[in-house]
Structure 1
């Protein structure tokens, strides 16, 4: 049995523009319009899931998807840094940020470590691998990174070397715990191929 999973990153919002740790804000009007312009262009799938974050749920809705919220698809929990910009945190806690960016086990914000997120992604993939057919999930960029790190068997430090642009698709397919990955295609560039 082969499972095919397409991970779609959310459309643009203020947090992404400002390099702000997710603060639950809605999509920008331009992000919502871009997602809405792609509604109906995606291949039909057997199930649609979405991260519980506001921007992922709004992206799924703008894409015209009826999605089931899957808590395990949540983005990285950054604890007390939530709502702050990276520059603000760097100004207050430069050593903590540098440690966080270099040590996948670090949790200076009191939330979840990068390694913890990667382990959660592996657990989710293990479960998703038991579902035949096509799954589409709208998830935060950091969850996409965690999946790619897991699929490639890369070290946790590779997490920060992956850029995931808004409204891009990363596809994984496989069976029996062996996955292949196709990374970061823009949604508008491959209608019908998801």
Structure 2
């Protein structure tokens, strides 16, 4: 029986996240994001979600993900399947700006997962990419840590639990959140862990 334990770690705050902008791969942690990441990294192991116990560590190629992994003392392999959505022409622009200049395009993107009015990736395409990677982890087994983006984690949970695609909008993943998925070879389970009593 193949046993898989997967911890999906959302990278820390970036300026784009704080300002509701469509981020890009060069966006690093902002000052507050780096402080919060270092503080969580130096917390006791229970609060860090036992990030030290792993066979494989992977991370998105984005600067924020690499910096988050480094702050936790992890030495990840870059995994392009964990990259954030390619926001095309909207990269670096704010939701407010897009709403003012292209309201119908923004509405389409927010309401239709297959829509990509910015010329980049649709959310459904991100789900397909991340879902294929998740299926590989399911078959391979082992203890895996993956540092990635909130949207990637949202679509990963949708895929793992077989939820309707539209439910990704109802999932909120905070920076530095740790989502644990486990499998014993049949299906993924979302595992919510309480901290151990000291």
Establish whether TM, by shorter chain, passes 0.5: yes
Query: Match of 2:65, SS?
Result: helix
Shift, 1:25, TM fit: 2.1
Match of 1:169 in 2: 178
1:21 aligns with 2:30: no
Cα deviation digits, residues 127-175 of structure 1 (max 9, x gap): 1112222100001001001111112212221111111001011111114
Match of 2:48 in 1: none
1:118 aligns with 2:118: no
- Tell me: CA distance 1:115–1:37, structure 2 relative to 1, closer, same or farther (3 Å): same
Which moved further from structure 2: 174-183 or 62-71? 174-183
Gaps spanning 5+ residues in structure 2: where? Answer: 46-50
1:14-93 matches, within 5 Å, as 14-23=15-24, 24-39=26-41, 41=45, 42-93=51-102
TM-score (norm 1): 0.90
CA RMSD of aligned residues (A): 1.7
Q: Given that residues 134 and 160 in structure 2 are in contact (C-alpha distance below 8 angstroms), is that contact kept between their aligned partners in structure 1?
A: no
Shift, 1:190, TM fit: 4.2
Which moved further from structure 2: 132-141 or 22-31? 22-31
Query: Match of 1:38, SS?
Result: helix
Gaps spanning 5+ residues in structure 1: where? Answer: none
Cα deviation digits, residues 28-81 of structure 1 (max 9, x gap): 122112212233633321111000111111111111111111011111111110
